Structures are given as C-alpha cells and as structure tokens.
Amino acid sequence: MEISEIQVDGYEKVLRCHDRATGLHALIAVHDTTLGPALGGMRMLPYVSEDEALFDVLRLSRGMTYKSAVAETGLGGGKSVLIGDPRTAKSPELFRAMGRFVDSLGGKYITAEDMNIGIRDLEYVRESTRWVTGLSRESGSSGNPSPYTARGCVQGMKAVLEELYGKADFKGRRVLIQGVGAVGGRIAEMLKELGAHVLISDINAETVARLSKQHGFEVVDEIGHHTTSCDIYAPCARGAGLNKDTIPTLRCKAVAGCANNQLLDPEDADRLQARGILYAPDYVINAGGIINVGVELLPGGYKENVALERVDRIYDQLKRVFRIAREERITTRDAAAKLAEQRLEEGRKKKSVAKR
Ligand code: NAD
C-alpha cells in the first residue's frame, strides 16, 4: 500500500492511497481539527480522474468543518472518497485496505457512511480500524441517522416559523416537502402530528401513493411543484434545486429542508433574500445525523438521550444564524459561515492558550 501526501493550502492533511493488491485508489482530506477529530463520510464514485475526486473531497471536507462548527459537535471536518464504480469494484478486501488507510491517520480522521457506502462496507472497514462511526445500534454504534436528521429539521423549522410569524406554531401552516424518502417522509409525519398542512412531492409515485393514503397528505405534482403556495418549502431530495431559474418561481415564505447543497451557486442566497424568502442554510438545519454520530465519540459512548438533547439545539443554532443575518444585514448563508468562523477562531484561541 502506497500512501502519499498532497499539499493543499488551507487543509491540515490530504492523503492519497494506491493499493495494487486490492485496486484501492482513494483520498482522505482532513480540513481542520481545531474543534476535534475530523469526522466525515466515505463516498465511492466512478470519478473520471483523481483531480475530480480531489475537488470533491476538498469541497466536502471543508463543508464538514463548517457543519460541525455550527452544530457544536466537538468535531472537525474531513471526508474520504474511493475512486471506482460502486456497482462493480466493491470487495471485502478493498474496504479492509481502506480501513488500513483510515487507520494510518491514527484517529485524526473518523469515517462514516456517505454516498454509495453502506453499513456492510463499513463493517469491513472496521476490521482494520476503530475509527468508524454510524454502524448498527446492535453493535453499540449510533445506527441509522435519518430520524435524527428529520428531528433536527423540524426543530429548525420551529425557528423559521418564529422568525416569520413570531411563534413556532405549525397549526394550519402549509409545508411542502419535496422528496419523501428516509428523512423527508419522517419530517412529513412529524409535521402532521404538529398540526401542519403537509404537501408532498416525489418522483417515486409508489412512495407518494403510500404516504398520502396512510396519512392524508396533499400530493403535489413533481413538475412545477416550486410554484405551489406554502409557508415552508422543504427540499428533501437532491441538491442544487434552488437556482436562478427556480427561485423566481417560488411561492413560499421560507426554504428549510434536509437536502445537501440546496443552492446551485452562492449568489442564490442573495436571490432568495432579494425575494424576501427566509433560507435556513442546509448544513445548519440538516446536522442532526452528524450530531447523533458524534455522540458515539463522547466518553461513555453513544446515549440516545444525549443525542436527542443535542439535536434539538439546531433550533438555537438557527436562531443565532437568523439573528446575525438580521443584525449585520447579510444573507443567512453568510451568517452561518460567520458563526462557523467565530467558533473556529475561539477554538484556535483556546488551543493556543492551552499550549502556553
Ligand atoms: P432518500 O434516498 O431516502 O430519499 C430521497 C427521496 O427523494 C426519494 O424518495 C426519492 O424518490 C426522492 N427524489 C429524488 N430525486 C427527486 C426529484 N428530482 N424530485 C422529487 N423527489 C426526488 O434520501 P434521504 O436519506 O432522505 O436524504 C435526502 C436528502 O437529505 C439528500 O440530499 C441527503 O444528502 C440529505 N441528507 C440526509 C441525511 C440523512 O440522515 N439521511 C443527513 C443530511 C443530509
């Protein structure tokens, strides 16, 4: 196994691994460990080049630093990518080799599930390193993150309602959820229990039919769903749904959902603000999963009550973000970044005091 370092400004460590025996070609980026070890998922994609994989791992690991800083998980930001086709290139040996690669960082990077990586794959990784989170609950790990992500989103929506209407009351509020999978489906159920009028939209007709029959949700056609009038529009499917074409057509008061990377371009935050639409930054409102996983690393290990109490703080974090945006007349996207930077700066100061 050959491990070599790639020098990248602003990143603590970026490593490349080639393993001829198993065909492993992977990268790990540790962006920042000021606030704790760098936790972030492992993904596998058929990247066309190492440069493309590098671009992805750098972008994603930096995002994890910000996400954890705002969520106060006590973790830093990192990510890993395997270059290869997840349909054909997976093998137990490949993941054991990946485990050795992760282990080479001695806990500076801690991995978890991400795109095209499942619990089974991580179990093989776990055979060669202890620095794995998000395994099954039976194994003492934190299990499926989706219910915690959903809970965090609903907490975040409460902060959104307060900002819009002065109180966190869902009764009669129209919430349109695009994508009712593991997270969106659970959000829909929770909102119904809280008295909201829930509208759902999904490309999977079977899921839509099942959920609407079971819970009486109003179904909205996928095509043109943006133009449906609602209080909160919750993107819970894919990223990049908010862009220069869709934002002018929105008929909502706020955007607050769990999908990652909802804005296609940074300027989309300005476009939303210009239209008077309150945007709950995606990485702030969807941090429930990472917060839950982070509890595994606390002394004493995973405890659900601790996780729930920490996930609920997403409400407070979003309130802070909205306050900064209001006071400094900046977008909520910039306000979230500012909050993350402040926390990192405080962390750096504490570290340098401790060193003296
Ligand atoms: P999922 O695959 O279970 O659900 C996604 C749903 O979106 C599916 O029902 C799918 O049919 C639907 N969908 C896909 N493309 C669509 C489209 N163009 N229009 C409408 N519906 C579409 O995924 P999930 O785990 O619920 O995650 C949803 C989003 O939240 C993803 O962006 C994910 O990265 C993000 N996220 C998830 C978690 C988590 O804990 N699962 C944590 C943070 C962020």
Enumerate residues lining ligand 1, CB below 6 A.
145-146, 149, 178-184, 201-204, 207, 222, 236-239, 258-260, 286, 289
Which of 79, 90, 158, 253 is catalytic? The answer is 79
Judge whether 33 and 76 are in contact, CB under 8 Å: yes
User: For 146-288+314-341, which CATH superfamily applies?
Assistant: NAD(P)-binding Rossmann-like Domain (3.40.50.720)
Domain with CATH 3.40.50.10860 in the chain: 2-60+76-132
pLDDT at 194: 98
pLDDT at 190: 98
d(CA 232, CA 251): 9
- pTM for this one? 0.94
Q: Which parts of the chain sit beneath pLDDT 50?
A: none
pLDDT at 89: 96
pLDDT at 84: 97
262 HSE (CA, 13 A, CB side): 26
The answer for residues whose C-beta is within 8 angstroms of residue 122's C-beta and 6 or more apart is 42, 95, 111, 112, 113, 132, 134, 135
pLDDT digits (tens, 9 = 90+) for 21-62: 999 999 999 999 999 999 999 999 999 999 999 999 999 999
Q: Measure 13 CA to ligand 1 centroid, in angstroms.
A: 31
79: annotated active-site residue: yes
- Looking at ligand 1, which residue's alpha carbon is closest to its atom 39? 146
pLDDT digits (tens, 9 = 90+) for 288-297: 999 999 999 9
179 sits in the region (left: phi over 0; alpha: psi -120 to 50; else beta) called left
Amino acid code (one letter) for 233: Y
pLDDT at 137: 87
CATH tag for 2-60+76-132 (out of 3.90.550.10, 3.40.50.10860, 3.40.720.10, 1.10.1370.20) = 3.40.50.10860
